[in-house]
Amino acid sequence: MIDLHTHTLFSDGELVPSELVRRAEVMGLTAIGLTDHGDSSNIDWIIPRVVAVAEELNRVMGITVVPGIEITHVPPVLIPEIARRARSLGAKIIVVHGETISEPVAPGTNASALVSDIDILAHPGLITREEALLAREKGILLEITARKGHSLTNGHVAALARETGAGLLINTDTHAPSDLINEKTARKIVCGAGLTEEDFSTMQKNAWQLVQAKMETPKH
């Protein structure tokens, strides 16, 4: 099980990175992304710290820790530049907080994210067919999420991804220990979105290929 969207005390999560990673390892995860909420006010503070702790934990733990950021509630016009800054600061995985129907995300966020240097569009809400096609073209993965509220549009995202061939993965958007899930639960969420066990395997492959592309020595 791979989960590339989680939060720590560096933003609005409850745990320090080491505890989050340890709890994920015990749950059976083989890779985890540390992707705290960021904008221009804090990415230069968060990303170097996440990079440092990921390097430290990767030396001594069996789980692969991937440092990243979730660009969150940023005005769409600013997303490309903040993504470039995040990459230059060392973010291996860049997530954008998509147009979930459970929060007042600015219209145009999905479209701006998909023309930026990012890896994952999180909980993209009522994403359009054109946006899903662009995600496929750009190799940006769309998220099926375990998080309450954001998960309300999982079925829509799954159906459009199946229609257009856009890549999917499943993440938890963890903020608290109780948000972490094991593979059995993840499979149920995927099937609940109208997908199949085979789709779950493909989603895990997508996530692993992303980890391999971003990390020099992933452990899996």
pLDDT tens, position by position, 205-218: 999 999 999 997 66
pLDDT confidence of residue 31: 98
pLDDT digits (tens, 9 = 90+) for 91-141: 999 999 999 999 999 999 999 999 999 999 999 999 999 999 999 999 999
Q: Which domains does the chain have, with CATH numbers?
A: 2-214 (3.20.20.140)
Measured distance CA(43)–CA(199) in Å, rounded: 34
What 3-state class would DSSP assign to 67? strand
Structure confidence at residue 84 (pLDDT): 98
Could you tell me the sign of the dihedral formed by the alpha carbons of 29, 47, 10, 167, in that order? negative
Predicted pLDDT at 216: 75
CB 119 within 8 A of CB 93: yes
DSSP state of 92: S
In the 8-state DSSP scheme, what is residue 160? Answer: H
pLDDT tens-digit map of 49-67: 999 999 999 999 999 999 9
- Does the pLDDT value for residue 152 go beyond 90? yes
For residue 219, pLDDT over 70 is answered with no
Q: By CB neighbour count within 10 A (0-12 exposed, 13-18 middle, 19+ buried), where does 72 fall?
A: buried
* Residue 193 reports pLDDT greater than 70: yes
